[in-house]
Protein backbone atom coordinates (compact mmCIF):
# COMPACT_ATOMS: atom_id res chain seq x y z
CA UNK A 1 0.00 0.00 0.00
CA UNK A 2 1.12 3.55 -0.74
CA UNK A 3 2.61 4.94 2.49
CA UNK A 4 0.94 7.87 4.25
CA UNK A 5 3.34 10.15 6.04
CA UNK A 6 2.30 11.48 9.49
CA UNK A 7 2.17 15.08 8.22
CA UNK A 8 0.02 14.00 5.28
CA UNK A 9 -2.41 12.19 7.58
CA UNK A 10 -2.50 15.11 10.04
CA UNK A 11 -3.27 17.62 7.27
CA UNK A 12 -6.02 15.33 5.96
CA UNK A 13 -7.66 15.29 9.40
CA UNK A 14 -7.32 19.06 9.68
CA UNK A 15 -8.90 19.84 6.30
CA UNK A 16 -11.49 17.06 6.26
CA UNK A 17 -12.53 16.81 9.91
CA UNK A 18 -11.49 19.90 11.87
CA UNK A 19 -11.90 22.84 9.49
CA UNK A 20 -15.55 22.32 8.66
CA UNK A 21 -18.36 24.86 8.36
CA UNK A 22 -21.86 24.86 6.84
CA UNK A 23 -20.82 27.33 4.14
CA UNK A 24 -17.89 25.13 3.15
CA UNK A 25 -20.20 22.12 3.01
CA UNK A 26 -22.19 24.01 0.38
CA UNK A 27 -19.45 25.74 -1.60
CA UNK A 28 -16.47 23.38 -1.77
CA UNK A 29 -18.30 20.45 -3.45
CA UNK A 30 -18.95 22.79 -6.40
CA UNK A 31 -15.22 22.90 -7.09
CA UNK A 32 -15.15 19.13 -7.47
CA UNK A 33 -17.66 19.20 -10.32
CA UNK A 34 -16.02 18.53 -13.67
CA UNK A 35 -18.78 20.56 -15.23
CA UNK A 36 -17.33 23.62 -13.45
CA UNK A 37 -14.13 23.40 -15.51
CA UNK A 38 -16.09 23.18 -18.74
CA UNK A 39 -18.32 26.06 -17.66
CA UNK A 40 -15.18 28.14 -17.07
CA UNK A 41 -13.93 27.12 -20.51
CA UNK A 42 -17.19 28.22 -22.11
CA UNK A 43 -17.10 31.60 -20.37
CA UNK A 44 -13.50 32.11 -21.44
CA UNK A 45 -14.33 31.10 -25.00
CA UNK A 46 -17.15 33.62 -25.32
CA UNK A 47 -15.10 36.37 -23.66
CA UNK A 48 -11.97 35.87 -25.74
CA UNK A 49 -13.80 35.42 -29.04
CA UNK A 50 -15.59 38.70 -28.44
CA UNK A 51 -12.27 40.38 -27.67
CA UNK A 52 -9.97 38.72 -30.21
CA UNK A 53 -12.08 36.92 -32.79
CA UNK A 54 -12.90 33.33 -33.63
CA UNK A 55 -9.23 32.39 -34.04
CA UNK A 56 -9.20 32.10 -30.23
CA UNK A 57 -11.01 28.77 -30.56
CA UNK A 58 -7.62 27.19 -31.30
CA UNK A 59 -6.59 28.09 -27.77
CA UNK A 60 -9.59 26.27 -26.37
CA UNK A 61 -8.80 23.17 -28.39
CA UNK A 62 -5.35 23.31 -26.82
CA UNK A 63 -6.86 23.59 -23.32
CA UNK A 64 -9.22 20.65 -23.86
CA UNK A 65 -6.42 18.46 -25.24
CA UNK A 66 -4.15 19.31 -22.31
CA UNK A 67 -6.86 18.52 -19.77
CA UNK A 68 -7.58 15.24 -21.52
CA UNK A 69 -3.90 14.32 -21.50
CA UNK A 70 -3.53 15.14 -17.79
CA UNK A 71 -6.61 13.07 -17.01
CA UNK A 72 -5.24 10.09 -18.94
CA UNK A 73 -1.85 10.42 -17.25
CA UNK A 74 -3.31 10.52 -13.75
CA UNK A 75 -5.44 7.44 -14.42
CA UNK A 76 -2.36 5.52 -15.54
CA UNK A 77 -0.45 6.52 -12.41
CA UNK A 78 -3.42 5.73 -10.15
CA UNK A 79 -3.63 2.16 -11.38
CA UNK A 80 0.14 1.73 -11.05
CA UNK A 81 0.27 3.12 -7.49
CA UNK A 82 -3.00 1.71 -6.14
CA UNK A 83 -3.37 4.00 -3.13
CA UNK A 84 -6.72 3.84 -1.35
CA UNK A 85 -8.82 6.96 -1.03
CA UNK A 86 -9.27 8.38 2.49
CA UNK A 87 -13.02 7.71 2.25
CA UNK A 88 -12.16 4.03 1.86
CA UNK A 89 -9.33 3.84 4.38
CA UNK A 90 -9.43 6.45 7.18
CA UNK A 91 -11.93 6.18 10.01
CA UNK A 92 -13.82 9.37 10.85
CA UNK A 93 -13.49 10.78 7.32
CA UNK A 94 -16.35 12.96 6.10
CA UNK A 95 -17.67 12.28 2.62
CA UNK A 96 -20.66 13.26 0.54
CA UNK A 97 -23.07 10.67 -0.82
CA UNK A 98 -26.16 11.58 -2.86
CA UNK A 99 -25.85 15.15 -1.63
CA UNK A 100 -25.73 14.14 2.04
CA UNK A 101 -22.71 14.39 4.33
CA UNK A 102 -21.74 11.15 6.06
CA UNK A 103 -18.96 10.32 8.48
CA UNK A 104 -17.18 6.98 8.39
CA UNK A 105 -17.05 4.95 11.59
CA UNK A 106 -13.83 5.34 13.53
CA UNK A 107 -13.28 1.56 13.48
CA UNK A 108 -13.99 1.01 9.79
CA UNK A 109 -12.02 -1.60 7.86
CA UNK A 110 -10.27 -0.35 4.70
CA UNK A 111 -12.12 -1.14 1.47
CA UNK A 112 -9.37 -2.24 -0.89
CA UNK A 113 -11.71 -2.81 -3.84
CA UNK A 114 -12.88 0.78 -4.36
CA UNK A 115 -11.20 3.89 -5.64
CA UNK A 116 -7.64 4.96 -6.37
CA UNK A 117 -6.22 8.09 -4.82
CA UNK A 118 -2.77 9.13 -6.09
CA UNK A 119 -2.59 11.53 -7.87
CA UNK A 120 -5.71 13.68 -8.01
CA UNK A 121 -7.05 14.02 -11.56
CA UNK A 122 -9.14 17.04 -10.57
CA UNK A 123 -6.03 18.81 -9.28
CA UNK A 124 -4.04 17.90 -12.39
CA UNK A 125 -6.72 18.98 -14.85
CA UNK A 126 -7.42 22.30 -13.14
CA UNK A 127 -3.68 23.06 -12.92
CA UNK A 128 -3.09 22.28 -16.59
CA UNK A 129 -6.00 24.60 -17.41
CA UNK A 130 -4.72 27.36 -15.12
CA UNK A 131 -1.15 27.24 -16.44
CA UNK A 132 -2.14 27.37 -20.10
CA UNK A 133 -4.75 30.06 -19.48
CA UNK A 134 -2.14 32.17 -17.67
CA UNK A 135 0.34 31.73 -20.52
CA UNK A 136 -2.16 32.35 -23.30
CA UNK A 137 -3.96 35.25 -21.60
CA UNK A 138 -1.55 37.06 -19.24
CA UNK A 139 -4.39 39.19 -17.92
CA UNK A 140 -5.67 36.11 -16.06
CA UNK A 141 -2.42 35.36 -14.24
CA UNK A 142 -3.43 36.94 -10.95
CA UNK A 143 -6.73 35.16 -10.34
CA UNK A 144 -6.62 31.92 -12.31
CA UNK A 145 -4.41 30.14 -9.77
CA UNK A 146 -7.23 30.25 -7.22
CA UNK A 147 -8.95 27.57 -9.30
CA UNK A 148 -6.53 24.65 -8.70
CA UNK A 149 -6.12 25.70 -5.06
CA UNK A 150 -9.88 25.54 -4.44
CA UNK A 151 -10.23 22.33 -6.45
CA UNK A 152 -7.46 20.70 -4.43
CA UNK A 153 -8.97 21.83 -1.14
CA UNK A 154 -12.35 20.47 -2.19
CA UNK A 155 -10.91 17.03 -2.95
CA UNK A 156 -9.48 16.72 0.56
CA UNK A 157 -12.61 18.23 2.13
CA UNK A 158 -14.74 15.61 0.36
CA UNK A 159 -12.54 12.77 1.58
CA UNK A 160 -11.52 11.81 -1.95
CA UNK A 161 -7.80 12.52 -1.61
CA UNK A 162 -4.91 12.99 0.75
CA UNK A 163 -3.05 16.32 0.52
CA UNK A 164 -0.11 14.57 -1.19
CA UNK A 165 -2.52 13.28 -3.85
CA UNK A 166 -3.44 16.88 -4.58
CA UNK A 167 0.21 17.95 -4.60
CA UNK A 168 1.03 15.14 -7.02
CA UNK A 169 -1.87 16.23 -9.22
CA UNK A 170 -0.67 19.83 -9.22
CA UNK A 171 2.83 18.78 -10.26
CA UNK A 172 1.54 16.50 -12.99
CA UNK A 173 -0.81 19.22 -14.27
CA UNK A 174 2.06 21.71 -14.40
CA UNK A 175 4.17 19.23 -16.35
CA UNK A 176 1.44 18.42 -18.85
CA UNK A 177 0.43 22.07 -19.23
CA UNK A 178 4.03 23.15 -19.84
CA UNK A 179 4.59 20.36 -22.41
CA UNK A 180 1.48 21.43 -24.29
CA UNK A 181 2.64 25.04 -24.17
CA UNK A 182 5.97 24.05 -25.75
CA UNK A 183 4.16 21.99 -28.40
CA UNK A 184 1.86 24.92 -29.11
CA UNK A 185 4.77 27.32 -29.53
CA UNK A 186 6.55 24.90 -31.87
CA UNK A 187 3.38 24.34 -33.92
CA UNK A 188 2.68 28.07 -34.12
CA UNK A 189 6.16 28.70 -35.49
CA UNK A 190 6.04 25.76 -37.90
CA UNK A 191 2.66 26.63 -39.40
CA UNK A 192 3.05 30.38 -38.92
CA UNK A 193 -0.19 30.71 -37.05
CA UNK A 194 -1.24 34.33 -36.88
CA UNK A 195 -3.31 34.84 -33.75
CA UNK A 196 -3.80 38.28 -32.36
CA UNK A 197 -1.49 39.10 -29.48
CA UNK A 198 -2.98 39.21 -26.02
CA UNK A 199 -1.15 41.76 -23.84
CA UNK A 200 -0.94 41.52 -20.07
CA UNK A 201 -3.30 44.45 -19.67
CA UNK A 202 -5.99 45.74 -21.99
Comparing CA positions, the residue from 116, 118, 114 lying closest to residue 169 is 118
Q: Are 71 and 124 in contact (CB under 8 A)?
A: yes
Does the pLDDT at position 12 exceed 70? yes
Does residue 1 fall inside a structural domain? no
Q: What is the pLDDT of residue 197?
A: 45
Domain assignment of residue 24, yes or no: yes
pLDDT digits (tens, 9 = 90+) for 101-131: 999 888 877 766 566 889 999 999 999 999 9
Is the pLDDT at 200 greater than 60? The verdict is no
Is 47 part of a structural domain of the chain? yes
Q: For the chain, what is the domain count?
A: 1
Using CA atoms, how far residue 110 sits from 105, 113, 114, 119, in Å, is 11, 9, 10, 19
- CA-CA-CA-CA torsion sign (134, 139, 141, 145): negative
Give the structural domain span for 94: 6-190
Which stretch, 2-16, 96-110, 153-167, has highest mean pLDDT? 153-167
Whichever domain contains 75, its CATH number is 1.20.144
* Cα separation, 153 vs 141, whole angstroms: 20
CB-count exposure of residue 100 (10 Å: 0-12, 13-18, 19+): exposed
Domain assignment present for residue 55? The answer is yes
Residue 144 inside a domain? The answer is yes
In a domain, 186, yes or no: yes
Confidence of residue 193 (pLDDT cuts 50, 70, 90): low
> Is residue 25, in this structure, part of any structural domain at all?
yes
Query: Alpha helices of the chain — where are they, by DSSP H?
Result: 6-13, 22-27, 34-52, 57-81, 121-136, 146-157, 163-190
pTM score over 0.85: yes
In a domain, 57, yes or no: yes
Amino acid sequence: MFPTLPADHALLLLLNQDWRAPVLDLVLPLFSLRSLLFAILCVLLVWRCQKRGKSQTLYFLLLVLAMGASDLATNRVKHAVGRLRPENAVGGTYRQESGQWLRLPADMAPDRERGRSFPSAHAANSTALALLAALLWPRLRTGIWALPLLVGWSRVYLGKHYPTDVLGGWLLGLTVGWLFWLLWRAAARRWRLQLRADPAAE
